[in-house]
Amino acid sequence: MERKQFIQLMDEKIKLIRTEYGLTQDKMAVILGISKKTLIEIEKSRISLGWTNAVALASIFSDSTILRDAVGGDLSGIIIALAFKDVNVDYPKTWGGKVWWKTIVDETSFRIQQNIFSRHYRILDKDNRRIYVSFSLQETKELLDTILAG
C-alpha cells in the first residue's frame, strides 16, 4: 500500500465511518477540523482528504469496525509504515500478531509477519517489539539477515 492508496481508502470509507458513529456532517466536519462543505465534497468523491486528514480520520476513528476490517486492524502500523518509510524508528511492544498477521519467517529471536489485509510486513523481536515496518518483503528480509549476521 502506498500513501495514495491509503488516502483513497479513507476517502471511500469516510461516509461509512460517519454513519457508523452516528455523526452528522456538521459534527464530523468539526471533529476532523474541516468545513462541512469540504466534507460533502469528499463524500461525493469530488475532492480528497489528502494525507494529513486521512491520517487524522484513521487515528481519531481507529476503533471503527469499518476501518479495522478494511485494513486488517492495525491502522497505526500502516500509518507508521507509510510515514516512516525507509526510516528506522524505535517501535513499542505489540500483541505479537495474534490477529490479522501471518508469520513469514520465524528465526530464534526475530520473525517477519505480513498483515493479511494491507499486505505490509514487520519484524518483531522475541518480546513482540516492532523493529521495522515496510511494504517490501525483500527489504524486510535483507534487514533481518543483517540483524541476524550480527
Q: Could you read off the pLDDT of 81-93 as tens digits, one per residue?
A: 788 776 665 666 6
Report the distance separating Cα 118 and Cα 63, nearest Å.
Answer: 17
89-146 pLDDT, tens digit per residue, is 566 667 666 778 999 999 889 999 999 888 899 999 998 888 888 888 998 999 899 8
What's the mean pLDDT when you consider all of the chain?
Answer: 89
| Cell 517477519 found at | 112
pLDDT attached to residue 107? 86
CATH H superfamily, domain 3-71? lambda repressor-like DNA-binding domains (1.10.260.40)
